Amino acid sequence: MKRLARELPSKRVAVVRADEVETITAIGTAVSDDMVDAVLIGPEKGIRESADKAGVDLNGIEIIHAEDDDTASRKGVEEVRSGRADVIMKGLVATSSFLHAILDRETGIRGPGALSHVAAFDVPSYPKLLIISDAAMNIAPDFDMKVAMLRNAIIVSKALGIEHPKSTYVCAKEVPYDKMPCTMEAARMKEMADNGEFGDIIFDGPLAMDLAVSKDACRIKKIDSPVCGEADLLILPDIEAANILYKTLIFLAGGELGAVIMGALNPVVLTSRADSAESKLCSIVLSGVVASYGREGGS
Ligand code: COD
C-alpha cells in the first residue's frame, strides 16, 4: 500500500478534529513521507498542542480553525466538496456528527450509491491481504446494502491490484438453509455473481469462515469451491460479526489494516481508537490509493 501511495500523485486529506495526538502522528508521518498532503481542521490551539506532543512539524500544513464537532465536520466536508481536498478523515470528532455531515443531502458528499466501510487486513498467518466489510458503518444492512458493500469492496480490491478477488459472503454454514437468513442471502448473491452482475470476480457462497481461509478445512470437509482457503474479500452479515472479526484479527492474530469508507464522492477515513498508529497510517494511505484509482483507472 505504502509503495503504491508514494508512486501515485499526492492526495490532500482534510482531517476533521485533528486535535488528537494519535491522529496527528499518523497524518504527520504520511505528510513527511510524501504520501499525502493535509489540511487540519479543529480548535487551532488543540491542534498545535497535539502536534507538539506528537513531535509533528506543522510548517507548510494548513490549519482551519473550528471550535466544535459540527462546525469542524461541516468545514471538512466543504474542503472535499469544493475540490480543495481529495479525502476526508475523522479525528477526535464524534462518529455520528462526522457521518451525518457526510450524508447530508444538501451539503454532504453522498455519491449515487450507498456508503460502506471496507478494511484491508495484513495478517501474519494469512499469505494475502484479506478485505472485510462492513465493520463500522452499516449496522444491520439489508440485502441491497450487502450488494452495495460487495461492489464497494471490489473497487478497493482492484485499487490494490487484486483484479479478480476471490470473494464470499461468510455465514455459519456452507449450504443454503432457510432457518439461517444469511445463507439464503449468500446463495442469492452467488446467483447474481454467476449472472455476471459483479464483473469478473470469483464468488462463492455461503461459506463458513474456516472454508474461506483454510484449504485444510476444505479438504477435511470435502468442500470444492474456487474460493476455498484463498479468500481475498469477505462480506459479513452485520456490523457485530464484522466488528468482532476486525477486532479479533487485530488483537488475537496481530493484524494491521487500512480501512476506508467507500461510496461517497470522495474516500472517507474512519479509523477506530483501537487501531495502531501503523493501521491509522495505512488507512490514510489506502484512501489516497483509492482516490487515485477512482480518478485514473477505476470506476
Ligand atoms: N449509504 C448512503 N446513505 C445512507 C447510509 C449509507 N450507508 N446510511 C444512512 N444513509 C442515509 C439515509 O438514507 C438517510 O437519508 C440518512 O442517511 C440518515 O439515515 P438513517 O436515519 O437511517 O441513519 P442514522 O441517522 O441512524 O445514521 C446513519 C449512520 C451511518 C450514522 C449510522 O448507521 C451509524 O451510526 N453507524 C454506525 C457508526 C459507528 O458508530 N461506527 C463506529 C463503531 S463500529
The torsion angle over the Cα atoms of residues 135, 213, 282 and 141, rounded to 10 degrees, is: -20
Coil, helix or strand at residue 15: strand
pLDDT at site 299 = 45
Give kind and range of the element (H or E) at residue 208.
strand 207-208
* CA 295 to chain centroid: 18
Q: Which neighbouring-strand residues pair with 15?
A: 40, 89
As a whole number of angstroms, the distance between CA 80 and CA 64 comes to: 14
109 lines ligand 1 (CB under 6 A): no
Coil, helix or strand at residue 23: helix
As a whole number of angstroms, the distance between CA 186 and CA 209 comes to: 13
Domains by residue range for the chain, with CATH: 2-111+264-295 (3.40.50.10950), 117-251 (3.40.718.10)
95 lines ligand 1 (CB under 6 A): yes
Residue whose C-alpha cell is 499469505? 127
- At 126, list the grid cell: 494469512
Q: CB of 290 within 8 A of CB of 264?
A: no
pLDDT at site 7 = 65
Pocket test for ligand 1, best of 103, 238, 240 (most atoms within 8 A of CB): 103
Which DSSP string corresponds to 76-87? HHHHHHTTS-SE
For the chain, give the number of residues.
Answer: 299
Tens-of-pLDDT digits for all 299 residues of the chain?
666 656 666 789 999 999 999 999 999 999 998 888 999 999 999 999 999 999 999 998 999 999 999 999 999 999 999 999 999 999 999 998 999 999 999 999 998 889 999 999 999 999 999 999 999 999 999 999 999 999 999 999 999 999 999 999 999 999 999 999 999 999 999 999 999 999 999 999 999 999 999 999 999 999 999 999 999 999 999 999 999 999 999 999 999 999 999 999 999 999 887 778 888 889 999 998 898 887 554 44
244 lines ligand 1 (CB under 6 A): no
